Amino acid sequence: MSDALPVLALDAITKTYNKGRPNEVQVLEAASLALAPGEVVALVAPSGAGKSTLLHIAGLLDTPDSGAVRLSGEDMSRSGDHARTVARRSQIGFIYQFHHLLPEFTALENVALPQLANGIARVEADARAAQLLDRVGLAARRDHRPAALSGGEQQRVAFCRALANEPALLLADEPTGNLDPATSDQVFGVLMDLVRATGLSALIATHNLALAERMDRILHLDAGRVT
């Protein structure tokens, strides 16, 4: 595994908002990190330190002012919008603090939709969605809409949606931060089981040090740099 290319590498990433203005804020300054295949890494940072910005850049949702973003060795910083969109859709899964499920669709449909957008046939997409929901203990809830699910169940559906297209990389921003401590611990266990079973790499931002310590490695983001 040590000889394999990192699934994600950020090299000397800088990002400044309101550049050249009196209220200019440098959020990231030469921030670098690398994730090996199958590695689960915690990103710990105080509020406002820029972890969401770093995750958005890693996930090709935002662009750095300088530095490189590499997915399995390919420098996506030099890629056009179409290539970045294809990479986001096929190589990266996203989980946020709030589930962002589509309220008019069932749990099964929410997990199938990203697959349909990626060109997967409906029958195949539904079958994989059902398999994922079963794996997180929601087989009996797959025809329920989000409003009929608990907070923990909604977030488990969001986990399944993030993994629907079998990405190589999972990016999660406080994935259990909106849940009570007991539910957070249980739901995080489900996420870790999913990640380990699929063998993907994950970068998970959290304030919860107890959760961070259950991962392979802890990175800290402070003053714009990763340590």
Query: Does the residue 14 lie in any domain?
Result: yes
Quote the pLDDT of residue 24: 75
Average pLDDT over residues 23-48: 86
**In the chain, how many domains are there?**
1
Domain that holds residue 92: 8-226
CATH number, residue 147:
3.40.50.300
pLDDT tens string 118-153? 899 999 999 999 999 998 888 999 999 999 999 889
The answer, yes or no, to whether residue 187 has pLDDT greater than 90, is no
Quote the pLDDT of residue 104: 95
Query: Does the residue 128 lie in any domain?
Result: yes
pLDDT tens string 67-79? 899 998 888 877 8
Query: Does the residue 114 lie in any domain?
Result: yes
- Is the pTM higher than 0.85? The answer reads yes
Query: Does the residue 198 lie in any domain?
Result: yes
For CA atoms 55, 58, 60, 64, give the dihedral sign.
Answer: positive
- Ordered strands of the 217-222 beta sheet: 92-95, 169-173, 201-205, 40-44, 217-222, 225-226
Banded model confidence at residue 203, pLDDT cuts 50, 70, 90? very high
Query: Does the residue 133 lie in any domain?
Result: yes
Quote the pLDDT of residue 225: 84
Query: Does the residue 1 lie in any domain?
Result: no
